[in-house]
Amino acid sequence: MKNIILSDTLREWTNFLPLSYTRPLAEIRIGICTIYEKWRHYFPDAQISYLTQDYLQEKFPINIQPQNLVINAAVLPDQGLVKSIISLDPGEGLRQGDLFIAGNYKADTIDGIDFRTALESASNFSATEFQGNLTVLGYTWDIFLNNAGQIRSDFEIITRGRPSQPLDDPFSKIYGQDNLFMEEGASIRAAVIDADSGPVYLGKGARIQEGAVVRGPFAMGEGSSVSMGAKIRGDSSIGPHCKIGGEIANSVMFGYSNKAHDGYLGNSVIGTWCNLGADTNVSNLKNNYANVKVYNYLKNGFVDTGLQFCGLLMGDHSKCGINTMFNTGTMVGVSCNLFGSGYPRSFIPAFSWGGASGMVTYRMEKAIDTMEKVMMRRNIPLDEIERRVLENIFELTSPYRN
């Protein structure tokens, strides 16, 4: 049995803040699956674990065996890449230019090297050059940029050789029936589904309600729902147990988050346990059509994304009130509570409370109290491990609030 370690690099992990404050890169959702789940499809019998930041390691433990395949978690798998990784002999690595992709290493090698730093330079390893095409995530906005392609590739793998649950609603109109896949218990009622433009995947118990219009590529996880009259413009992924409504385009929601009401969300990434209040609207295009700039933790300042379209990047456990307006390229940290009129600033540190008129620190005990209430609505307790993760994030982010 192969032992696989999906390893963060310090650079990429920092580039994916605030989403990576609460998870290793392998737990990022893009397409239908998380990165971890994608590798699991190719290695169904392997043991797969994580190498990440110290304070996350308790929640996402590492499993080191005598021989280990260590894989850069920012690299997304495909058949050609997996074939090259499997062929690595002990002591061999794989790279493309300066990017380390994977290596086959003994336990004592892993114990002696901090891969979060070492993986950033292929010169530290005896590695051969990979000649194929790679999909590599470098920044938070790469999630929505690559999402449509990942829906297509995940759809092909997940549905191969499996029959879809039949659609028994005579009042729904489906274009491209062969590109629609419904897991057990999924339902569609009086909706219009355009799967000609890309596959549409509905997880177990997922629901599309009356009057919704959905264009593929689109994926929705177990237990999630699309509200009545919603307009889903495609290239979007919704994780498990989410509620979405209004208008959504080219956005990814990780799981257990809600945007249940009217309002626009485009070119955005939303973490877990978030809630966007009724009529929340996100700008994803500047009035002068200039490139969008987004705050970057590695640079400790705003960087040019090179994109004309970029909306909201929101960390876990953050909430906003009704009629909230977000400017292009707004980054919201973990556990923020936003409300009031006007546009809040474009970089909001974790554990912030307020809005356009000003921010104060969202005190830890109050934030935890809210988290516990929200999570228990889904019968999921906030355990001590999760609490310690959040306490670490509170301390790590205190300089930004000051």
For 186-201, how does the pLDDT look when each residue is reduced to its tens digit (9 = 90+)?
A: 999 999 999 999 999 9
Radius of gyration of the chain from its Cα atoms, rounded to whole angstroms: 21
pLDDT, tens digit (0-9, with 9 covering 90-100), for 104-152: 988 877 666 665 665 655 555 678 999 999 999 999 999 999 999 999 9
pLDDT, tens digit (0-9, with 9 covering 90-100), for 42-58: 999 999 999 999 999 99
Number of C-beta neighbours around residue 217 at 10 A:
26
- Helices H, strands E: what count in the chain? 11, 39
**So what's the pLDDT on residue 106?**
86
**So what's the pLDDT on residue 121?**
53
Torsion-angle region of residue 122: left (phi > 0), alpha (psi -120 to 50) or beta?
alpha
**So what's the pLDDT on residue 114?**
64
**Which spans in 210-320 are helix H?**
none
**So what's the pLDDT on residue 154?**
98
Rounded Cα–Cα distance for residues 140 and 26 (Å): 13
**So what's the pLDDT on residue 108?**
77
Residue from 249, 252, 247, 241 nearest 262 by CA: 247
Torsion-angle region of residue 379: left (phi > 0), alpha (psi -120 to 50) or beta?
left
pLDDT, tens digit (0-9, with 9 covering 90-100), for 201-229: 999 999 999 999 999 999 999 999 999 99
Looking at the predicted structure, is the pLDDT value of residue 245 above 80? yes
Using DSSP, state whether 71 is helix, strand or coil. Answer: strand
Is residue 170 exposed (0-12), middle (13-18) or buried (19+ Cβ within 10 Å)? exposed
Looking at the predicted structure, is the pLDDT value of residue 232 above 80? yes
Task: Spell out the residues 6+ positions from residue 54 whose beta carbon is closer than 8 angstroms to its own.
Answer: none
pLDDT, tens digit (0-9, with 9 covering 90-100), for 315-370: 999 999 999 999 999 999 999 999 999 999 999 999 999 999 999 999 999 999 99
Rounded Cα–Cα distance for residues 188 and 306 (Å): 38
**So what's the pLDDT on residue 286?**
97
Report cis status (omega within 30 of 0) of the bond before 18.
Answer: yes
Report the share of the chain in percent with pLDDT over 90: 92
The whole-model pTM stands at: 0.96
Q: What's at 331, amino acid-wise?
A: M
Q: How far apart are the first and last CA of the chain?
A: 49
Please say whether the beta carbons of 351 and 336 come within 8 A. Answer: yes
Average pLDDT over residues 23-42: 98
Average pLDDT over residues 309-314: 98
Q: Give residue for tokens 């002696």.
A: 112
**Which spans in 216-283 are helix H?**
none
Number of C-beta neighbours around residue 53 at 10 A:
20
Rounded Cα–Cα distance for residues 301 and 298 (Å): 8
